A and B are shown apart, each in its own frame.
Chain A
Amino acid sequence: MTPRSPRRKRTVHRHGTILVLAVAIVVQGGCQTPPQKPATAGVTVTFNPLPLSVGDAQVTVTLTDESQAVSGATVEVEGNMNHAGMKPTFATLTEVAPGSYRGTLSFTMAGDWFVLVNVVEANGKRWTHSIEVPGVRVP
């Protein structure tokens, strides 16, 4: 093989360093997943009608903290399929009773879904909780 010039070696090393740094940043940054549900918090998610099928479904989220209803929170649910490449669906829920939030979520395709419950409590604390919603059927 022909020997490489020092200039080319420097370029290769520089590019290598940039590559490693870029990957390191993503690994480090990628770990910043959304804050998870606090240990004391309770989340119950119910759907209506059951069994779930493609189309709109009423979703009710009940929030508690140390068995006390969590009122005044902003609650948004995000439905995702478990396959990459599918557009998520969103619903912002309204509080219908202390700690109970309700809205309508659209399931656009049959299959396995997961729903992210994004909560911003009245005190500004944010957290996300994920639940599996398997087997949404063709109507």
Chain B
Amino acid sequence: MTLPGIDAHSPSSSQQSVPASKQRRDALRILGLSRISRSRCFRTALQAPLLLVSLLMVAHAFGGPQWAPKNLATLLTWVHFRGLVVLALLFAGNLFCMACPFVLVRDLARRLHPPRWKWPKVLRNKWPAVFLFATVLFSYELFDLWSNPLGTGVLIVLYFVAIVVVDISFERATFCKYVCPVGQFNFLSSLLSPWEVAVRDPDTCANCRTKECILGTTAPRPEPSVDFQPLPILQRGCELGLYLPRKSGNMDCTFCLDCAAACPHDNIGILSQMPAEHLTTSGVRSGIGAPERRRDLAALSVLFCFGAILNAFAMIQPVYALESYVATWLHWNVEWPILTLLFLFGLVIIPAVMLGTTASVCKALTHSPLHLSDIVCSYARSLVPMGFGIWLAHYGFHFFTGILTVIPVTQAAVASTFGAAYLGRPAWQLGGLPERVVYVLELGFLGLGFIGSCLVVHGISHQVSQQLAAKMGAPWYALQVLLLLSAWWIMSQPMEMRGTFLGG
């Protein structure tokens, strides 16, 4: 990206803007996990409980009651999992990917069938994930997954099947980096997290010649040897292609800590970072390239933000009125074409108009010679904090209003399974925080997202040109205000949980 005034080697480039490691706190050392996190069992110990929970959810989805509020699959997936993921991302980092149960199954499958192929070059970008992310959002509405235990169970099983099929075929963490929609959600959100996996002392890396953090640790080559076959990997390095000394931010980082385990100098930790800091910096970074030049990343950011609005909009009354109106107007009586139209407007046409208009104003104010799409590409990342704020508000609503409902549902599941109420009679009176309290939290999350986005706009504009920063940023601030007002209006509407758009 060559916006006027930008200098790829300016002091604001990503590497130099990261605070010195001496000033950064290390979560692994604070928690006393520095040594144990390098053990092979560390991640497995996190994954195994989640795998057990996942299997129990699948079992309950297929064998339990087919009522969403009474089924662990729907309850844990759509209320607790989503809520905990966004809160973990807000307060810590990409903890779900760290403990991902799908990866544990993938690792087991790879022992039986090691991958042989490389992911095709044409697909080494975020476009497949953009498509799949949109597909998941669409399927969620079309199949009413929030009210569909069987559908939720099928989705979980499909996820296991997909990661196994992709990753026993293709080398490295192909599924995580290029396919997984949940992963992409976590990657973008973790740019707002206060912690990142990073190098403790850059000077140590400067003297390192073996680069285990990305290449992994191999068995020693027997001496004398003329065999140049690859040696077996004892500890893999970063499978997502992030070379730690040049890594910047959490994009594409699963927090797997393979790099930390492989580093012979114990020089990798989970260090504090300023949330959203890496959204404001430009320049090439390992495994990512220059984010401000990548249209696939820009598209992912736009989908992340407008998908959040659409997903929340689909839970309030006006969407049903709109759908009924469209259905009557077009004489359609099936849901999928109407939903397709809604998604086309919500995820393509409206974002294109809003971003195109904003970029046009920006171009006119600054007399920039750049193409509109380049300006959009540069500023698209400023949508990420606002999008995250909306996801937080939406998922936070479900999580906080239903946080305790897991207790009676588990009690009922145990009573049904064993024929005896070992955990007591289901306490159905347990719910969560009152909606009026949660509404205040929602507004707080939206406010955080808005402030974050404005700061990113400010950072990008000042990076481009100190003189033109105010003019360049003005239309983008206005866009953030518009997004904030839209989200605030949606969150202020009474939530209306429906699966029957057409009243059927």
Contacts and interface: CB of A to CB of B under 8 A. Distances in A.
Interface of A: 1-2, 15, 19, 22-34, 54, 78, 80-88, 90, 109-112, 114, 116, 130, 134-135, 137-138
B458 interface: no
Contacts of A112: 147, 497-500
Count class of interface residues, chain B: 35 or more
Determine chain A's interface SS by DSSP, over half rule: mixed
Nearest to B416: A32
Interface in B321-351: none
Contacts of A86: 69, 401-402, 405, 431, 497
A29 B415 CA distance: 9
A3 to B, nearest CB: 11
A135 B498 contact: yes
A130 B70 CA distance: 13
A63 B428 CA distance: 26
Nearest to A111: B497
B56 A22 contact: yes
Contacts of A137: 317
B401 A85 contact: yes
Contacts of B79: 84-85
B222 interface: no
Contacts of A33: 64-66, 416
B212 to A, nearest CB: 16
10 contacts: A1-B233, A19-B52, A30-B65, A82-B147, A87-B405, A87-B428, A109-B497, A116-B67, A135-B498, A138-B494
Contacts of A87: 402, 405, 428-432
Contacts of A32: 416-417, 419
Contacts of B19: none
Contacts of B75: 84-85
A34 B70 CA distance: 12
Given A22-B56, A26-B56, A31-B63, A82 B494 contact: no
B428 A88 contact: yes
Interface in B8-60: 48, 51-52, 55-56, 58-60
Interface in B291-326: 317
